[in-house]
Amino acid sequence: MFEVILSETHHSLKLTKWGQTQLMILYLLVSGTCSLVTVLQPPVIMSPLGRAVVLQSNLFLSPDEKMLAQPVLYWDHLKEDSDNGRLWPSSKKYKSRVALMDSNEDSFNKSILLKNVQWDDSGQYLCKLSITTERKKFRELGTPTLLMVYDSMFFNITAHEDPLLCCEVNVTRDPAVVLSIYHEGSKLETGDSAPEEAAAALPYVTLSKSVHVRGGGNYECQLHLNADLITNSSFQYNPSGVEVFPEPWPLYGSLLLVPITVLLGLIIVQKCRS
């Protein structure tokens, strides 16, 4: 017998560090003398399946550049042909799932929201802006953002004789995505099950790790993209099986109070009569 406590947390958009350094470099460049128009996108973003994700893009202009008109915004999913793959202005396919994050068209923040993310959505997204300045009219491209998708994590005992703790998650295929299991904070050597050949056609891969549980305590499975924690799941293992329930003292107390009051009442009645 063992006691199970499962918990799962999601960390979408874990790539905030990127933004800060890139923006700082950019501000330094923009504040310099060279004239500059840049569309900045993060290189990679991970989204839980079925959730909404923000595809970020920001326009930067150096002070000597003046726009004569509002830039025209396009967002494309590069996997698809240009008719189907246009998120903004939305093609039929994306109409109900895409919204601008900042509806003020003067804003330089050109991020969009993609709702109900599906496996099919994984891939490269490119933001393009048609810009008219005093000097010229041109189209400025960002650098594509790779959207990766992951499903909820399974982390549980699979064999009860010699308990095997198994962690499994479906995620967009990428060598930078790694699954690992920890016991009381230290990383464990794990057995991998090789992904099946037949699954090669799927848009995701099932990552799987397992360990033989040796001691009780807290086990944790973590999904990382390089150094960033994407999602994790915990498992409490208690091999003794002694279930410890806290004693409900307040309940006992209140239960005892009933006969005591009745008894007191009776005594008082007896005393009065005699």
Ligand X SMILES: *[C@@H]1O[C@H](CO)[C@@H](O)[C@H](O)[C@H]1NC(C)=O
Q: How far is the CB of 172 from ligand X (least distance, A)?
A: 22
Burial class (CB in 10 A: 0-12, 13-18, 19+), 18: middle
Of residues 117 and 165, the one with the C-beta less far from ligand X: 117
Residue 67 to residue 108: CA distance in whole angstroms? 12
What is the 8-class DSSP label of residue 184? T
Q: How far is the CB of 26 from ligand X (least distance, A)?
A: 10
Tell which residue, 108, 26, 103, 27, has the closest CA to residue 67.
108
Q: How far is the CB of 56 from ligand X (least distance, A)?
A: 6
Q: Are 163 and 213 in contact (CB under 8 A)?
A: yes
Q: Are 34 and 26 in contact (CB under 8 A)?
A: no
CB nearest ligand X: which residue? 109
Residue 235 to residue 47: CA distance in whole angstroms? 23
Residue 99 to residue 41: CA distance in whole angstroms? 17
Place of tokens 């006969």: 259
Of residues 16 and 274, the one with the C-beta less far from ligand X: 16
Of residues 36 and 54, the one with the C-beta less far from ligand X: 54
Q: How far is the CB of 141 from ligand X (least distance, A)?
A: 18
Residues that bind ligand X (CB under 6 A): 54, 56, 58, 101, 109, 111
State phi, psi for 198 to the nearest 5 degrees: -60, -25
Of residues 61 and 207, the one with the C-beta less far from ligand X: 61
Of residues 15 and 179, the one with the C-beta less far from ligand X: 15
Mark residue 125 as left, alpha or beta (left: phi above 0; alpha: psi -120 to 50; beta: remaining).
beta
Of residues 60 and 182, the one with the C-beta less far from ligand X: 60
Q: Are 112 and 104 in contact (CB under 8 A)?
A: no
Q: How far is the CB of 113 from ligand X (least distance, A)?
A: 8
Of residues 56 and 233, the one with the C-beta less far from ligand X: 56
